[in-house]
Structure 1
């Protein structure tokens, strides 16, 4: 019941974080429900068929079993000696619990927060951006240099190049390019996608004449066009595009000075050389040229115009008309274009339009109705996404003027929205488990002897994550860590229930609190270890996982391993002490004596525990 109750508040969460929680909540709750039905019905029947009177084992297997039992018996005696001391030293045990709880706060400061880890999904992106108005031929030369560097990596299997297009901006431009890198299977390469992109960025930054960087796909498809953070700088004062670009450059220079930021970039350019075509409408009307025909002619010759579809070789093709490139090189060629007036006479375009040079943005983003610049980037090595977001917020407060603002987008927006939700879920999970245990034991105090062991599990999870960060920076306190902590509430409570349940039974039989606690600890020592080791061995494959989704599994596995290990290691010694502590605070022995005296005088026992 505790393992099902712990996921009830999780399943009720909203947002994208709630969807991640719900997947685990429903899966685990349904699995536990089926397991409970099996334990209550099929397992007893199966045990009656399989269990036989014990016979002494012979050979190597017998020696192993005998040796194991001898070691376990000696360990049990040592365990009972230590448990007896801890059970009688309640004040020291509570001081230890307070110190351990304070250590959780300290360790949490060194385990950075995060949202969803960047996964190795088997492919990468490379974005290229050349100076404003660079030609397509020049972009193609840079693309070939990039391809030469990519060819030196055995981990990269295929490269697809799309010169003239950028997936970050979604715009077609001659000074841009985008590449899709397909990596080899995970078992055929030693480097992860993240390691490859970092090494690539060091080499690509040395190519002169372009801004080139490699990055991975978003952890959740559809939330942005790439991994890392996404920030929208907003011009809330209605200034010019040049002013927005200037403030964006100031912000990026300040952000790059922070140690938490590895890279920050934007595809926004406010000073792209352009041609402005000024149409003299009065002249056009006097010449008898329809404005609609004039606009259509200009669009068709200079930009392209859809004409019709036609079938050929069993396929459908679209037909477009456009002037040849040599007639669109500069404004002097415009005299070669003509438009027909109302009388059927051909009028040259040069008589109706004037072309002049201007500078302006190639595209403009609007975010919440404000002109905006999209900034993308990645945290530096050793720093988490939440640390990078906090650093960017500090930079924004320092350098942005009053008429500029910022908003988070894509994955960064979801990360900010979910900030703090893990603590709320954890508290509600504790409350639900407490209510279930209170109903089960018909007591408001006894569940505390079970839940007081929860800090052990949290301490173990955070400690193991901190130690694991020595070897990999992907271990952080993210959504999957929070799911693991919720799961550990139930697992730690399960271990405590094994002792507290038997201690209550022995106490009801007439033993004192200390005697009942020690007797239950002796009887349930082996089952607790069996449960703990089976769980630890079950989560161990998560820690050594590889392939797509492995980063999330590693974080979850490490948190579960550490939490269960420490909760078992400390809990078996301290759970009996917690039972005695709560029993004395709740005056269980006095209530039992009072109930016995009332029963001897014929009165009913209605005293609540």
Structure 2
């Protein structure tokens, strides 16, 4: 009980030195550290108490018990620190999130080991005495004795059938592979924040008044249809992925989760079905992600890149059709929209040449007439004014006014533009996008109920394989990119932690065999973690993956205790089998 506050005070001092604040992640680290801190104290205290029960004086038991357990505590501490150090040096979102968490855990473990090997033995010699046991001890001790004897008998039976060990290991690896490919994965589980975002994009060229009126009607419909809403915040003129006048968004604030019957996910699904029947604008319902940019759009963002705009314009409709037909997605959108009205001016070069008109003459005339190019400034009455070149508004209201424009030929005569050009009405994108110097389009998708961001990325890649040729490259953006980066970072941290633990334990035990024996317990622990996620219908996400990495340290900690005590028993003359049974049985209660 005294080891916990002392160790936590030291942990807070480390946070002070590192200039950390008290936040969710540091508090999570402190909560987990409490279990690790008390673990070291329990191991040392139990060993000292066992010595006292065997007849040693408290002082002698404190010295002998601490000496016997010293190497194991140091080895487990180094192993746990080695697990969390790779997390500290990760890049990207995972590194930013868990740097403080890793340092807090590593610092608390180091301090707890120091406290367990110094303060705990001293207090044990002062406070623990050999006394007559009470009735509660007599009742519980019988249970623990029977439990230990059952464990000893089971271990003895298993050691007679050692051929089961490789069978169990192979089966464990097989189940790990099956569960790893079966479990859904995502960046972080969706949190009920009691807030939805409705993004609206009207047709290109829509006026502000039209968008404002549409948003008013939509906001009133949301208020009337959602009994869970306590407010709707309306923003017109931005946020929908289009120009300022044709887009907007609604922020729907919901009542507290405990006061409503439906979850945020269920409300979002119902609202999506409702707005899908609307016409006049494109409406998308999104939820704020637990981690990442809360205004980053739909969860799955897939970037298509190629060398020419024509190739992208030709392939994009097929990709969108295939993605829209995939059951993984509830909504599919793209930032490259061909909805802006344009006039295509084609010059008849032969006719223009015969009339003494060049292509550059046509281009300059159109630019001067219609672009309102700034030609300079002038100052009048102390104020500066711009000089803009171009026709008056009344002379360029109709797109066909272009044909009435005159251009001066080489001989000085005026030639009407409709003699040398043809114009056609077309639609094009309001703006072009580039990624890594390639023309690009970002396809965004919302997920169907029961689907995760990992499922969405797999589905997008499947669509890309069926519709894109070799001239295209793809990448991820937004939450999908954060998910991919965090998954690769976590995998690297997991493997690096295993290698680091092996090297540290090899140096500690001066053996390459003992660390390998300890690390063989990791697959069984990993299998237990994956089975728990599967049974409780949870996903593989950044938090569960960090928990799995932490599990590596905890499992190796138990293995270190057993292997170290087995080595001590062998030094006292026991054979391998008896040393294993005796060490495992003696460590059974403190590990439990």
- Give the alignment's TM-score, normalised by structure 2: 0.70
Does residue 1:412 correspond to 2:489, yes or no? Answer: no
Which residue, out of 433, 449, 459, partners 1:365?
Answer: 433
Q: What is the match of residue 478 of structure 1? A: 541
Q: What is the match of residue 11 of structure 1? A: 88
Q: What is the match of residue 398 of structure 1? A: 466
Name the CA distance, whole Å, in 1 between partners of 2:425 and 2:447. 40
Which residue, out of 305, 309, 324, partners 1:238?
Answer: 309
Change (3 A) 1:276 1:219: farther
Which residue, out of 266, 271, 292, partners 2:339?
Answer: 271
User: Does the CA-based 8 Å contact 2:201-2:241 persist in structure 1?
Assistant: no
The CA deviation string for residues 469-497 of structure 1, in whole angstroms up to 9 with x for no partner, is 2xxxxx22233333222211110111122
Equivalent positions of 1:105-144 (< 5 A) are 105-144=177-216
User: Does the CA-based 8 Å contact 1:218-1:226 persist in structure 2?
Assistant: no
Name the CA distance, whole Å, in 2 between partners of 1:510 and 1:402. 68
Does residue 1:162 correspond to 2:228, yes or no? Answer: no
User: Does the CA-based 8 Å contact 1:162-1:179 persist in structure 2?
Assistant: yes
Q: Secondary structure at the match of 1:396?
A: helix
User: Does the CA-based 8 Å contact 1:224-1:411 persist in structure 2?
Assistant: no
Name the CA distance, whole Å, in 2 between partners of 1:21 and 1:119. 19
User: Does the CA-based 8 Å contact 1:223-1:411 persist in structure 2?
Assistant: no
User: Does the CA-based 8 Å contact 2:518-2:563 persist in structure 1?
Assistant: yes
Does residue 1:200 correspond to 2:271, yes or no? Answer: yes
The CA deviation string for residues 438-481 of structure 1, in whole angstroms up to 9 with x for no partner, is 22222221222222111111000111111122xxxxx2223333
Name the CA distance, whole Å, in 1 between partners of 2:126 and 2:261. 50
Q: CA RMSD in A?
A: 4.0
Q: Secondary structure at the match of 1:28?
A: helix
Q: CA deviation at 1:527?
A: 0.7
Name the CA distance, whole Å, in 1 between partners of 2:232 and 2:551. 44
User: Does the CA-based 8 Å contact 1:227-1:378 persist in structure 2?
Assistant: yes
User: Does the CA-based 8 Å contact 2:211-2:245 persist in structure 1?
Assistant: no
Which residue, out of 385, 392, 395, partners 2:453?
Answer: 385
Q: Secondary structure at the match of 1:105?
A: helix
Equivalent positions of 1:203-602 (< 5 A) are 203-222=274-293, 225-239=296-310, 244=312, 247-273=315-341, 295=373, 331=397, 359-401=427-469, 404-469=472-537, 475-529=538-592
Q: What is the match of residue 39 of structure 1? A: 116
User: Does the CA-based 8 Å contact 1:230-1:374 persist in structure 2?
Assistant: yes
Name the CA distance, whole Å, in 2 between partners of 1:35 and 1:446. 25
Q: CA deviation at 1:269?
A: 2.6
Change (3 A) 1:263 1:164: same
Aligned residue pairs, count: 472
Q: What is the match of residue 85 of structure 1? A: 157
Q: Secondary structure at the match of 1:166?
A: coil
User: What 5-or-longer segments of structure 1 have no aligned partner?
Assistant: 298-306, 309-326, 336-354, 470-474, 530-609
Q: Secondary structure at the match of 1:432?
A: helix
User: Does the CA-based 8 Å contact 2:201-2:283 persist in structure 1?
Assistant: yes
Q: CA deviation at 1:182?
A: 2.9
Q: Secondary structure at the match of 2:587?
A: helix
